[in-house]
Amino acid sequence: MISFMRAWAAVAVLAVVVAGCSSSSNPDIEPAIEAPAAPIAEPLATGPFTAAQIAKALGEKTFAYSGTGSGTVTFYADGTMSYEEAGKGSGTGIWQASDGSLCQARNPTSFLPKGTPSSCQPFSSDGMRYTAGSMQLQPSS
Amino acid sequence: MGYQSRMSLDGSPAASRKLSRRGFVAGALACVAPVPAFAVAYEGDDPFPLPPYNYRNVPESFRPALVEYKGRQWPGTIIVDTSARQLSLILDGGMAMRFGCAVGKDGFRWAGLADVGRKVMWPKWTPPKEMIARSPEKAKWANGMPGGPDNPLGARALYLFQNGQDTLFRIHGTTEPQSIGKRASSGCIRMINQDVVELFRRAPIGARVVVMAEGV
């Protein structure tokens, strides 16, 4: 008789536990809705970079640049680029990825009458921005 | 010997045309600024005038051709398509002069931008120390091999500069025209002598050179 009562008590306890576990499925209780997380910028890949990786990192993307002047620059997949330099104006140029380096040259403009010679600088990243020589490139949001 | 133009630089089919050499040159001249006077002087001063080249044994994709160009690189830019082993000089009017070339062997290829910093006719060749170490028989030219028909740099050389410095890479002619279209050099861009003469005439010092990375 005692063992029979113990068995019933165990079943009762189990029922309470199961009921507790399933309470979240009660349609009367709204599940908690998590607030949408603020978009987190995906960390940039860090080097060393092959030419293909540099081309993929920059191609068809716009960056805010600083270092030698500041402004925004867009690198196009066809090897051309356009930029807007703060306080000066817009211009175009060419770029090419090299293993471990980014090569750039700016075309002549009114504020840069001779353009710039071809220059290749070591390309790296700290996970937040890319660096090519003295130029820092921050992905534009 | 005629030149043919069958493909545009972006790979799309273009109208197939056969051009005589005279037509090719005339067409190209119509598309570019007049050749500077100094180029004519170079041609007249050539100590080793070259006969016309027989392209019969050169695969069609490596023969000189006037082709359409739909890209955005400025006229005057030289583009080396390393994968295709083709060199193109961008002209005005959506056209380009395309030539076959040889590029670096495995481990010797490179990519990037450069400027033509110097142009030399029948250049002297001085093998770098690394080349002498690999090929000791070249040590006899450690102080330079005079320019001429036997010189591996061929009829002309365009010296490529980066950051204002000589890269030691050149676009040059060759004594091994059979290597055109192959991965054969130590990083330089080789062309058939007659083709590099044509490029030399048209590309000024300061011309931009784009050496495209492979697989990008």
pLDDT digits (tens, 9 = 90+) for B72-84: 999 999 999 999 9
Whether B143 shows a pLDDT value over 90: the answer reads yes
Residue A78 touches chain B, beta carbons under 8 Å: yes
- CA B52 to chain A, closest CA, distance in angstroms equals 34
Rounded to whole angstroms, how far apart are CA atoms A107 and A101? 20
pLDDT digits (tens, 9 = 90+) for A65-86: 999 899 999 999 999 999 999 9
- CA A140 to chain B, closest CA, distance in angstroms equals 23
CB-CB contact of A119 with B163 (8 Å): yes
Tell me if B208 and A103 make a contact (CB, 8 A cut-off): no
Q: Which residues of chain A have a CB within 8 Å of the CB of B106? A: none
Tell me if A117 and B115 make a contact (CB, 8 A cut-off): yes
Residue B113 touches chain A, beta carbons under 8 Å: yes
pLDDT digits (tens, 9 = 90+) for B106-130: 999 999 999 999 999 999 999 888 8
Rounded to whole angstroms, how far apart are CA atoms B172 and B99? 13
Rounded to whole angstroms, how far apart are CA atoms B54 and B31? 25
Q: What is residue A46's predicted lDDT score, i.e. its pLDDT?
A: 76
Tell me the backbone φ, ψ of residue A89, rounded to 5 degrees: 150, -165
Q: Which residues of chain A have a CB within 8 Å of the CB of B72? A: 76, 78, 80
Least confident range from A5-19, B88-102, B145-159: namely A5-19
Q: What is residue B145's predicted lDDT score, i.e. its pLDDT?
A: 95
- CA B194 to chain A, closest CA, distance in angstroms equals 27
CB-CB contact of B82 with B179 (8 Å): no
Whether B56 shows a pLDDT value over 70: the answer reads yes
Tell me if A79 and B211 make a contact (CB, 8 A cut-off): no
Q: What's chain B's average pLDDT?
A: 83
Band the pLDDT of B21: cuts 50, 70, 90.
very low
Whether B39 shows a pLDDT value over 50: the answer reads no
Mean per-residue pLDDT for B142-170? 95
**Nearest chain A Cα to B205, which residue?**
A117
Q: What is residue A48's predicted lDDT score, i.e. its pLDDT?
A: 87
Mean per-residue pLDDT for B38-67? 84
Q: What is residue A137's predicted lDDT score, i.e. its pLDDT?
A: 97
- CA A86 to chain B, closest CA, distance in angstroms equals 24
Q: Which residues of B are catalytic?
A: 172, 188
Band the pLDDT of A41: cuts 50, 70, 90.
low
Rounded to whole angstroms, how far apart are CA atoms B203 and B39? 10
Of B77, B211, B213, the CB nearest to A55: B213
CB-CB contact of B70 with B10 (8 Å): yes
Best mutation target, B70, B108, B113, B163, to test chain A (most A CBs within 10 A)? B113
Band the pLDDT of B150: cuts 50, 70, 90.
very high
Range ranked top by mean pLDDT from A6-20, B27-41, B80-94:
B80-94
- CA B187 to chain A, closest CA, distance in angstroms equals 14
Tell me if A118 and B113 make a contact (CB, 8 A cut-off): yes
pLDDT digits (tens, 9 = 90+) for A14-37: 444 333 333 334 445 555 555 555
Residue A82 touches chain B, beta carbons under 8 Å: no
Of A51, A107, A120, the CB nearest to B74: A107
Which stretch of DSSP H or E encloses residue B22? Answer: helix B21-31
Residue B114 touches chain A, beta carbons under 8 Å: yes
CB-CB contact of B172 with B191 (8 Å): yes
Best mutation target, B82, B169, B211, B216, to test chain A (most A CBs within 10 A)? B216
Mean per-residue pLDDT for B38-43? 44
Rounded to whole angstroms, how far apart are CA atoms B119 and B43? 13
